[in-house]
Amino acid sequence: MSGRRDVIDLDESDLDEGGREPTAAAGVAADRDPSGQRRNVRLVAALLAGVVLGGVGVNELRDSREQRQRNASVSLVAFPASGSGGGSDVAGVLQMDARLAVVNAGPAPITLRAVTGRGPGVVLRDTGQSRLVRPGGVEWIGVKLRLECATAFGSEPLVVRFSVETADRRTREATYPVAMRDSVWHRGAEVPCEHLG
């Protein structure tokens, strides 16, 4: 054992044997390198772009879902519009040509494909013509009525069924209760029903 002691010189501890900085210290110095800063700026820019695009994507998805819901919704209002006296092939039963007013109360255009109804003493069917009804618009649909004079105009409404093609090209069903008592149809049937009675 020699009497020589190993002494660490603190001033030179940051340099290796070749006089270069060790790798840990070199990593700190590399961060100050302009190419490393550019890499960090690009990374932050990519992250921000992702956040912005993600937010836009979520808004687009929400808007698309709301648009699909609007296109799929059906809201109709219907009421008797006109009716003229008709004939009869059975005692006490009046067959009448009439019109049904249909209002599109929904947010998107619809196409009426079929209109039918059945209630106490009443059968209703359309004349087979499809009609486009815009939002807030009204269409007068030609219908054929078969009315049993004794029961057709009671207190119960006639439930009218609509087969509708919505803006998303799907067929949906909707119903609306149409009041028969004191309607235009009731007034139009009074005199013919008296003759049939």
Task: Please give, one letter per residue, the 3-state secondary structure of 91-118.
Answer: CCEEEEEEEEEEEECCCCCEEEEEEEEE
pLDDT digits (tens, 9 = 90+) for 136-190: 999 999 999 999 989 999 888 999 999 999 988 899 999 999 999 999 999 998 8
Give phi and psi for 156, each to the nearest 5.
Answer: -75, 135
Where does the pLDDT of residue 8 fall: very low under 50, low under 70, confident under 90, or very high at 90 and above? low
Local structure of 96: helix, strand or coil: strand
- Nearest Cα neighbor of 142 from 96, 180, 184 is 96
Greater pLDDT, 51 or 147: 147
Where does the pLDDT of residue 72 fall: very low under 50, low under 70, confident under 90, or very high at 90 and above? low
Per mean pLDDT, which range of 10-19, 49-58, 146-155, 188-197 is the poorest? 10-19
